[in-house]
Structure formats: structure tokens, C-alpha cells
């Protein structure tokens, strides 16, 4: 009859066999199928504690010098329950102000998991694999945007014109408006410029309040005119690329989680007052993780320009009340700028630089970084003053010549293919259906009936018949499997 022995009985038999038989430990361990070092441990435990010491016990050490202090852990739990949106890094910064030394982020994370105050997440991508771009100092670039879905207690929706300094993460604009149209957005921009100074560049998306470049009839909007008058380079993101303005988008997320989702107010004025107080805390007190847990003000104050330059409105008026028109030009390799088909000398020292040219009462004034560097008498006709604009000629819509037209798709490089030759249409028209007409020895490209490009014909004229015979292009060939 077979009898199953417990683990303690088997260990006891092995110990007794070593003591009673006098056999070597190596031989006894081989008979029981264990390592000799294991049998040594059984002998030591039996000698110190008797039979009950042979029972299986936890390998957990009796003491743990790295265990979190109960006082610190209790404080951690209180902080997390008071501020559910604070993560391990923020909680460590707060604990470091009260305790020395403070526990590590990993220890705080494990404590939050133990108390079921955080849900464990799978391992994320290593931070070293991310590439983050930022300017080298403050006031080099601002990112600006408009965030919506902000509500009062009665359900009225507000919008917020936001701006953040690319280097310091300093919030330069958080202005609430009832309607996100051109005038309120530009008023918020002017307020930010007067408060914090004039940056070198501003980065925005392609919204109509920021640029008129992609409109049916391209024009220089008020936001662009303010940038031109204050010698600010206005940069635009690629269409459908919100990650380019990722810093201001991250500011929106923080504003929602730490302010807009926590309380609502009855009026716009009350909301703005509370938001202004939150911005002060965000800029001057709240530690920012991307800056090494220091407030944005620590970086921003190193390069603040204050009131060094006068902020000029988009519709700047001269002392006599007349509006001054302004545009930007790049100085060519001979130190000149081209204005309405006439060249004006600026100076060889400014070759390749961007300058601002304004027109007032027949006098052209050229400014570089807000400093007047040249003046010239107007050489074009007075009736051509209406053409004094930065409107892009290539995008200006006009009526095409009538004639046979074929359809071609604009590819990912902004070009169309006709008669085996590629003709440029423009990146703004990627994926759209374009019309192609032959007019003499030229090729006209239209979008929605509007002429956008005219090219000198470069294709083989013998292939025109075949191209015109396929008005919708050559069908794609499918390979045989």
C-alpha cells in the first residue's frame, strides 16, 4: 500500500538519514533528488528550530530598507484622493516639498496600485525614442490656436484664444471670446503682444482667422497684417497636421482637466477672471514636467522683451488719419526689393533678409526689425495703390480659356500627368481633380473652373491625341496573380 508523505516528512527523513547513517550529504541529496546545498539548509533549519522549521515558508526578507515610510504613504494617499489627476511625477514633486528623501516615482506608482488609486497600464514607448523640437530661447516662437467647447452654466459656448511660448511653455494668451472671428482673435493677439512683447515668429494652423492663403480668393487677413506691421514671421502648419502645434494642444488638455472641467461660471467676465488667476498659477507656481519640474516663468523671464517695441495694429493709421498699407519682401542678392514691378535699393548689408515695406502718401518706407532703413518715392501710378498687397499671384483665381478639357488627379507631389509629362499644380491641390486644357503651345490647369497654373508645353505633341482621347486618364492596370 502506497502512502503519500508530506513535504515536511520527506525533509525530516533526509535529515535523519544524514544524522543516523553517517552517509555523506552529497550521497543523501542524490538519493532524494535535491541539491546538496538545499540539504545543508534543511539541516541548519532543523538544528535551529526543530521539526516545525522544515515547513515551507515565504522567501520574503524579514526587513526591507527601501519600504516606503507609512507616514509618507498615508500623505501620498491623501494627496492622490484630493487631486485624482496628479500622476506619480507630480505627486513626487509635492512630497519632496514635505519629506526628505522623497520616494521614487516607481515606488509611488506601486503604492498607488496597492491602494487601487491608479490602473496599471502596459509599458509605453521609451521616451528616448521620441524626437521633440523646441526653440533655443524664449520669445523666438509662439504657438497660437483657438479652443472651443467651453460652456457657461446656461449652456452658452465660449472660445479661448490661446498662446504658448515654444521654449519656456509660458502661457502668453488665454483670452475668452464669445465668437472666434477675426476681430476678437486679433484683439487677443494684440493684448498678448502688449503684455509680453513681440516674438520673432508665430506658428498657427491654417484657420481662416489666421490666414487667407487657402481661400478661394487669397487675401492678407487682419492677423497677417498685425504680424507684418510688427515684423513677426507668421508660420503655418501643413494641412491636417495638429501635432506641429503640439505644445499649445497640450496646453488645451491641461486647461480642460485642471480648470474648465472643474467649475463653470455664469458670465464670460467671471470665467475670464478665474482663468486669469489659473494662468498666473500655471506660469509662476505650477511645476512643468517638460522643464524639469520648474515653473515656465523661470525660463521665460530670461528673455522677456517687455515694452521694447511699440505694438502696431493691423490697420495702422498715420497721424493724419490715413491707413498705412504694409507688406513683406525679401532683399535680393543686389540689395533691392521688388514692389509692383519696380526695384528699390535697400542696401547690400540686408541681402537675404526679410523687410517690411509700407506705403503712405506716395512714400515707401522700408523697415528691418522695426528700424527704418530706407525711404523712396513711389514710382508706380497712384491708381495702382490698390495692388499694394501680399496676395499670392500663383493662387489668384481667373477664368481659363475655353476649349477641350480633360480631367487629371493631382498626385501626392502636387502635380498632374498629361501626355506622359508631369506639370506642377501645387501642394494645396493634392488629391483634387484638375482640368487640363491645351491653348496654343501652353497647358492650362484649372480647379473648379478657376485657372491656377499655366505652363509652357513640354510634352511630345504626337501624344496629345491619345491624351485627349482619354479625358479621365489612363485606367490603372492590375497585375495577374
- Highest mean pLDDT pick, 34-48, 357-371, 398-412: 34-48
d(CA 367, CA 358): 8
Cell of 430: 493634392
Greater model confidence, 65 or 15: 15
pLDDT value of residue 479: 45
The string of pLDDT tens digits covering residues 67-83 is 888 899 999 999 999 98
3-state SS, the chain, equals CCCCCCHHHHHHHHHHHHHHHCCCHHHHHHHHCCCHHHHHHHHHHHHHHCHHHHCCCCCCCCCCCCCCCHHHHHHHHHHHHHCCCCCHHHHHHHHHCCCCCCCCHHHHHHHHHHCCCCCCCCCCCCHHHCCCCCCCCCCCEEEEEEEEEEECCCCCEEEEEEEEECCCCCEEEEEEECCCCHHHHHHHHHHHHHHHCCCCEEEECCCCCCCECCCCCCECCHHHHHHHHCCCEEEECCCCCHHHHHHHHHHHHHHHHHHHCCCCCCCHHHHHHHHHHHHHHHHHCCCEHHHCCECCHHHHCCCCCCCCCCCCCCCCECCCCCECEEEEEECCCCCEEEECCEEEECCHHHCCCEEEEEEECCEEEEEECCEEEEEEECCCCHHHHHHCCCCCCCCCCECCCCCCEEEEECCCCCEEEECCEEEECCHHHCCCEEEEEEECCEEEEEECCEEEEEEECCCCHHHHHHHHHCCCCCCCCCCCC
Which whole number is the average pLDDT over 62-66? 75
pLDDT value of residue 256: 93
Checking if the pLDDT of 60 tops 60, the result is yes
pLDDT value of residue 476: 53
The string of pLDDT tens digits covering residues 436-481 is 888 777 888 888 878 888 887 888 877 777 777 777 766 655 444 3
Using alpha carbons, select from 433, 438, 432, 427 the residue that is nearest to residue 464: 438
Checking if the pLDDT of 385 tops 90, the result is no
The burial class, CB within 10 Å (0-12 / 13-18 / 19+), for 365 is middle
The string of pLDDT tens digits covering residues 398-418 is 444 455 688 888 988 888 888
Cell of 194: 502688449
Looking at every residue in the chain, the average pLDDT score rounds to: 83
C-alpha atoms less than 13 angstroms from C-alpha of 66 in its C-beta half-sphere: 7
**Neighbour count for residue 216 (Cβ, 10 Å):** 11
Query: Under a CB-based contact definition with an 8 Å cutoff, are residues 363 and 378 in contact?
Result: yes
Cα angle 123, 261, 155 (rounded to 5 degrees) comes to: 140
Q: Where does 141-300 sit in CATH, by number?
A: 3.30.420.10
pLDDT value of residue 403: 55
Which whole number is the average pLDDT over 208-215? 86
pLDDT value of residue 448: 83
d(CA 470, CA 407): 9
Using alpha carbons, select from 37, 26, 34, 27 the residue that is nearest to residue 10: 34
Checking if the pLDDT of 173 tops 70, the result is yes
The sheet carrying 405-409 orders its strands as 405-409, 433-439, 442-447, 450-456
Using alpha carbons, select from 134, 426, 395 the residue that is nearest to residue 434: 426
pLDDT value of residue 353: 83
pLDDT value of residue 20: 85
pLDDT value of residue 250: 93
Checking if the pLDDT of 284 tops 70, the result is yes
pLDDT value of residue 381: 83
pLDDT value of residue 162: 97
**Residue 95 pLDDT class (50, 70, 90 cuts):** very high
Comparing 16-20, 221-225, 325-329, the range with the smallest average pLDDT is 325-329
Cell of 337: 526689393
Which whole number is the average pLDDT over 8-26? 87
Comparing 187-191, 240-244, 300-304, 446-450, the range with the smallest average pLDDT is 300-304
Checking if the pLDDT of 3 tops 60, the result is no
The string of pLDDT tens digits covering residues 119-163 is 887 776 676 666 667 888 899 999 999 999 999 999 999 999 999
Using a pLDDT cut of 70, give the percent of the chain over it. 87
Amino acid at each position: 500500500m502506497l502512502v503519500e508523505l508530506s513535504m515536511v516528512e520527506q525533509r525530516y527523513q533526509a535529515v535523519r538519514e544524514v544524522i543516523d547513517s553517517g552517509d555523506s550529504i552529497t550521497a543523501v541529496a542524490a538519493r532524494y533528488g535535491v541539491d546538496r546545498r538545499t540539504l545543508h539548509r534543511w539541516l541548519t533549519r532543523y538544528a535551529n528550530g526543530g521539526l516545525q522549521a522544515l515547513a515551507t515558508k515565504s522567501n520574503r526578507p524579514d526587513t526591507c530598507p527601501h519600504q516606503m515610510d507609512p507616514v509618507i504613504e498615508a500623505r501620498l494617499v491623501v494627496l492622490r484622493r484630493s487631486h485624482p489627476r496628479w500622476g506619480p511625477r507630480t505627486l513626487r514633486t509635492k512630497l519632496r516639498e514635505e519629506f526628505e528623501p522623497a520616494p521614487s516615482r516607481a515606488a509611488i506608482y506601486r503604492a498607488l496600485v496597492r491602494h487601487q488609486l491608479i490602473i496599471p497600464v502596459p509599458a509605453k514607448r521609451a521616451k528616448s525614442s521620441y524626437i521633440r523640437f523646441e526653440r533655443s530661447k524664449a520669445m523666438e516662437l509662439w504657438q497660437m490656436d483657438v479652443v472651443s467647447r467651453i460652456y457657461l452654466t446656461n449652456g452658452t459656448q465660449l472660445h479661448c484664444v490661446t498662446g504658448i511660448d515654444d521654449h519656456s511653455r509660458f502661457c502668453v494668451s488665454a483670452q475668452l471670446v464669445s465668437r472666434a472671428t477675426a476681430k476678437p482673435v486679433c484683439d487677443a493677439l494684440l493684448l498678448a503682444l502688449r503684455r509680453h512683447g513681440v516674438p520673432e515668429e508665430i506658428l498657427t494652423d491654417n484657420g481662416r482667422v489666421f490666414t487667407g492663403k487657402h481661400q478661394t480668393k487669397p487675401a492678407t487677413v487682419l492677423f497677417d497684417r498685425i504680424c507684418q506691421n510688427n515684423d513677426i514671421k507668421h508660420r503655418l502648419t501643413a494641412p491636417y497636421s495638429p501635432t506641429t502645434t503640439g505644445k499649445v494642444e497640450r496646453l488645451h488638455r491641461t486647461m480642460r482637466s485642471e480648470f474648465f472641467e472643474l467649475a463653470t461660471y455664469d458670465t464670460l467676465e467671471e470665467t475670464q477672471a478665474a482663468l486669469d488667476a489659473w494662468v498666473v498659477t500655471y506660469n509662476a507656481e505650477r511645476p512643468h514636467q517638460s522643464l524639469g519640474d520648474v515653473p515656465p516663468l523661470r525660463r521665460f523671464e530670461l528673455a522677456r522683451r517687455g515694452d521694447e517695441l511699440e505694438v502696431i495694429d493691423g490697420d495702422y493709421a498715420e497721424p493724419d488719419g490715413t491707413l498705412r498699407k504694409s507688406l513683406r519682401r525679401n532683399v535680393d542678392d543686389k540689395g533691392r526689393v521688388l514692389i509692383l514691378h519696380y526695384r528699390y535699393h535697400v542696401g547690400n548689408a540686408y541681402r537675404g533678409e526679410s523687410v517690411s515695406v509700407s506705403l503712405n502718401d506716395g512714400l515707401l518706407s522700408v523697415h528691418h526689425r522695426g528700424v527704418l532703413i530706407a525711404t523712396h518715392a513711389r514710382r508706380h501710378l497712384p491708381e495702382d495703390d490698390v495692388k499694394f498687397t501680399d496676395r499670392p499671384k500663383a493662387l489668384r483665381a481667373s477664368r481659363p480659356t475655353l476649349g477641350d478639357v480633360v480631367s487629371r488627379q493631382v498626385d501626392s507631389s502636387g502635380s498632374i500627368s498629361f501626355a506622359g509629362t508631369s506639370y506642377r499644380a501645387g501642394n494645396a491641390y493634392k488629391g483634387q481633380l484638375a482640368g487640363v486644357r491645351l491653348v496654343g503651345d501652353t497647358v492650362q490647369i484649372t480647379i473648379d473652373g478657376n485657372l491656377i497654373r499655366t505652363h509652357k508645353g513640354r510634352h511630345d505633341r504626337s501624344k496629345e491625341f491619345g491624351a485627349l482621347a482619354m479625358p479621365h486618364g489612363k485606367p490603372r492596370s492590375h497585375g495577374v496573380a
